Chains A and B, each alone.
Chain A
């Protein structure tokens, strides 16, 4: 398996534009997590899904952020409209449903909003 795949690896966009980040979890994993990492706030959990259903989105910063998981092999994190303070590295991770298994992280998407 190629691991968790995120795209794009880098994204530069102008303030006000819509940004969509994509994630393909490891096949067979049924839990998926989205994290954001900045120097100031470290790694923050934004949302996680279990069996394609959002379980906890309390970390989503505001209504401009939305996440979907239409099927077991794909998830998106959308920011609309984007703002400079959204600049960060966004990580996706996946895990099998058993609660004490390890999570595997993708390489991240570095987002810059100018």
Chain B
């Protein structure tokens, strides 16, 4: 199973872009990169996912390097409500291909006024 490495914590000024890196150097060709976040005391919330192309939605952008060994989640204009733990996950593709999500320790993003 591909493992991910994230910095334990980051700070970002309110209104600025937050760029959260993730290394997944052992990712396989058919594995997706997922990002979730967990705001204090809540269940994890899906943000975005991608395979090899960059992706954008109303919450964030996901930039995946050409070799797919790393990615960056971008929150274009961080707000105080974006303070959370952000998890980068590589979907495990088992024999039944149900894709269980294995969470690491994540990055705690603190958005400061």
Chain B residues with Cβ under 8 A from A104's Cβ?
Answer: 46
Selected contact of B34 from candidates A4, A43, A102, CB within 8 Å: A102
* Residues of chain B at interface, number, CB under 8 A: 25
Residue among A97, A99, A108 having the largest count of chain B Cβ atoms under 10 Å = A99
For residue A2, give the distance in angstroms from its CB to the closest CB of chain B. 13
Query: Is B102 close to A, CB under 8 A?
Result: yes
Query: Which residues, 58 to 113 on A, are CB-close (under 8 Å) to B?
Result: 91, 93, 97, 99-100, 102-108
Chain A residues with Cβ under 8 A from B51's Cβ?
Answer: 100
Selected contact of B46 from candidates A43, A56, A102, A106, CB within 8 Å: A102
For residue B103, give the distance in angstroms from its CB to the closest CB of chain A. 4
Interface residues on A, range: 20 to 34
| Bound CA–CA A104/B101 (angstroms) | 12
Chain B residues with Cβ under 8 A from A35's Cβ?
Answer: 103
| Bound CA–CA A104/B47 (angstroms) | 11
- B102 pairs with A42, CB closer than 8 A: no
Query: Is B9 close to A, CB under 8 A?
Result: no
| Bound CA–CA A31/B100 (angstroms) | 10
B93-108 interface bits toward A, Cβ cutoff 8 Å, 1 = contact, 0 = none: 1101111111111100
Query: Is A114 close to B, CB under 8 A?
Result: no
Chain A residues with Cβ under 8 A from B43's Cβ?
Answer: 4, 91, 93, 105-108
Question: Assuming the A-B contacts A100-B32, A100-B91, are A45 and B44 also in contact, with contact meaning beta carbons closer than 8 angstroms in the complex?
Answer: no
- Of the A-B pairs whose beta carbons lie under 8 Å apart in the complex, a sample of 22, sorted by A's number, is A4-B43, A33-B100, A33-B101, A35-B103, A42-B104, A43-B44, A43-B87, A45-B103, A50-B98, A93-B44, A93-B101, A99-B98, A100-B49, A102-B46, A102-B49, A103-B101, A105-B43, A105-B44, A106-B43, A107-B42, A107-B43, A108-B43
Q: Which residues of B contact A (CB under 8 A)?
A: 32, 34, 38, 42-46, 49, 51, 87, 91, 93-94, 96-106
The 4 closest A-B pairs by CB, nearest first: A105-B43, A102-B46, A43-B103, A99-B99
